[in-house]
A and B are shown apart, each in its own frame.
Chain A
């Protein structure tokens, strides 16, 4: 079971390594981790997707909370939230396949951001389901490179994590 945690941390050097170290030494599996600054300059927000049962996720939260640099942890509601990931995919595209690929891109409301005679780069934004579906469809043409930002998300409605 996947859980998306939103973690507010001090914007210090070394915080990322503390958090990554905690995950590895306690044997917690991270699916993805995205980090960046927030509306408050000295606070960063990490969005961590963890795979595990309730016991594991409870442990992850409690152990993260013990880190002095961690200010607040909350879980992104699996239903009532918006989660997004940005993916760039470089796919083989020659004259014979190009138009098919363009069609797929349109159906998915993705963007083509670079084209050359052998390949193109496609930019997809979406939740995990959309990104995975896109990846699967494109794999028949041969994916040359792929990079994902990791999931970020916010709960819907006026409530905030502060």
Chain B
């Protein structure tokens, strides 16, 4: 059947089961938008393209499906970039579609032309500039396949205007076959055997669970292994929810702002089983002092992560779910483990804590939120102190409930991501925990939330400052604060009201519970402007160039 390129695109997306696109229109995508009017695919108009990319990412994180975003050429495409890079760093499957100027104009610096495939090459898993309309169906199919298999990631498709308008005979390919892309899912049996032996022999093992646990959906296997072999589990920021946060084997987060007991456990371990974690710099502290007594089993779908940051004793390339299932079969059940007593002692003697004072403490607010939602909310965060407090004090019961920018650390991510999350999981309660700095980066998305009746709750932990940077200046610049304290902060509750959302302001501890209840019970989007102590720090903290075992503060 004869169709235009734009029609072929929409059909192919429908065929892939895409239910929602986040986007922003413009001149180079006119034909595509024209067809979206009548498509079964819902289009959500954000207030900037960056928010569209973040929303697609939030949608993907909660549903496990590929998120799709769409923008026009030039500035539309460049506005997507932060969202694409954020998704890339956290291995989130996205397909980003951009319009492009007509093929005969490419390279002539015409209006709204930008080389977006060139620009995004470093932080897309792959990208395409479609030069021949006949290739479009195959490219769409490949893009979804590449984005969602192996180590997931964003793929961009750049479609020139004339290609979208060109007419051709549309057929959708049955299969994809990309000769340069064959992810390896089965771990090597010999390596798995070695890992089993090492686990059976270990006395002080620790599992380090990363974002790979979430993307491979192997939390059940992980929990079984941990329970069967009595292995405590420390998590990276991306791995939170890998095992229930309240589980006795859960150590919470390890790393630069890890819990005391997680960092100590990792440092004292004789075996580390890294499951879908890449040993990022924020997770391991001083590299050559990381887990000095441990042999390392590293399981990852991406061979390039193995041996990149940390030397590995037993590398296993494969899908975590399959590999863990095999390891589980081979390992011996452990009845008693002395090591767990050590862990228990660390946990009871050095729990996560904070000092109370007359000023309102952010940790208290998050604890209350955790209690009131019984740990069952989907929580996104922005980037800063509030992000780490959330990671510490909201104990995630399962994966795909904590949505945060880990790898790129993108302020402005959390709120648009919550919009995507709420659209992906309409039945769930979605909360964004934000800072006054980050919230102002994508605040206009309040309009998107209102327009789409999304009852997202935004808790702004308002310290009037770029708290995390201020804290860094405290430690690394002798307390000289430079350009971090806002001289003007708006009243976020009144901003919310002007959008037609619910706005409340919380200043004292005794107001917190009632006010949060009001916010949570509202069926509208709601903003709680929570005025907190601006001197509050994130602890524990591992200073640059220190090993994880050397922490300051908070215990």
Contact = CB atoms under 8 A, between A and B. Distances in A.
Contact of B117 (A14, A65, A71): A14
Contacts of A59: 304, 308
Interface in B412-429: none
Interface in B179-209: 179-181
A25 B122 contact: yes
Nearest to B126: A68
A48 to B, nearest CB: 16
Contacts of B307: 55, 58
A70 B180 contact: yes
B121 interface: yes
A160 interface: no
A63 interface: yes
A67 B178 CA distance: 11
Interface string B302-316: 111001100000000
A21 B308 CA distance: 19
A18 B303 CA distance: 19
A21 B123 CA distance: 11
Contact of A68 (B178, B302, B303): B178
B551 interface: no
Contacts of A70: 180
Q: How large is the interface on B (under 10, 10 to 19, 20 to 34, 35 or more residues)?
A: 10 to 19
A141 B179 CA distance: 51
Interface in A64-117: 65-72
B146 interface: yes
Contact of B146 (A10, A55, A63, A68): A68
Nearest to B117: A14
Contacts of B361: none
Residue of B117, B118, B122, B179 ringed by the most chain A CB atoms within 10 A: B179
Contacts of B146: 68
Nearest to A21: B121
A63 B151 CA distance: 13
A101 to B, nearest CB: 45
A71 B179 CA distance: 6
B298 interface: no
Given A18-B121, A68-B146, A63 B126 contact: no
B301 to A, nearest CB: 11
Contacts of B308: 59, 62
A66 B302 contact: yes
B304 A63 contact: yes
Contacts of B117: 14
A17 interface: yes
B129 interface: yes
B141 to A, nearest CB: 14
Contacts of A10: 179-180
Nearest to B150: A66
A21 B122 contact: yes
A9 B303 CA distance: 19
Contacts of A17: 118, 121
Interface in A1-47: 9-10, 14, 17-18, 21, 25
B125 interface: yes
B118 A69 contact: no
B179 A65 contact: no
A67 B180 contact: yes
A68 B129 contact: no
Given A59-B304, A62-B304, A63-B304, A69 B121 contact: no
A63 B307 CA distance: 12
B180 A71 contact: yes
Contact of B303 (A21, A65, A67, A71): A65
Nearest to A63: B304
Interface string B103-129: 000000000000001100110011001
A21 B307 CA distance: 22
B304 A14 contact: no
A97 B63 CA distance: 77
Nearest to A18: B121
A66 B304 contact: yes
Contacts of A65: 303-304
A17 to B, nearest CB: 7
Interface string B400-413: 00000000000000
A65 B184 CA distance: 12
Given A67-B180, A68-B126, A68-B146, A62 B303 contact: yes
Contacts of A18: 121
A21 B126 CA distance: 13
Contacts of B118: 17
B180 A14 contact: no
Interface in B120-143: 121-122, 125-126, 129
B180 A69 contact: yes
A156 to B, nearest CB: 26
A68 B125 contact: yes
A70 B181 CA distance: 8
Interface in B73-130: 117-118, 121-122, 125-126, 129
Contacts of B181: 68
A25 B118 CA distance: 13
B304 A68 contact: no
A83 to B, nearest CB: 25
Interface in A108-132: none
A39 to B, nearest CB: 16
5 tightest A-B CB contacts, nearest first: A62-B304, A68-B126, A71-B180, A68-B181, A71-B179
28 contacts: A9-B180, A10-B179, A10-B180, A14-B117, A14-B129, A17-B121, A18-B121, A21-B121, A25-B122, A58-B307, A59-B304, A59-B308, A62-B303, A62-B304, A63-B304, A65-B303, A65-B304, A66-B302, A66-B304, A67-B126, A67-B180, A68-B126, A68-B180, A68-B181, A69-B126, A69-B180, A70-B180, A72-B180
Given A21-B121, A68-B126, A72-B180, 7 more contacts: A18-B121, A25-B122, A58-B307, A59-B304, A59-B308, A67-B180, A68-B125
Interface of A: 9-10, 14, 17-18, 21, 25, 55, 58-59, 62-63, 65-72
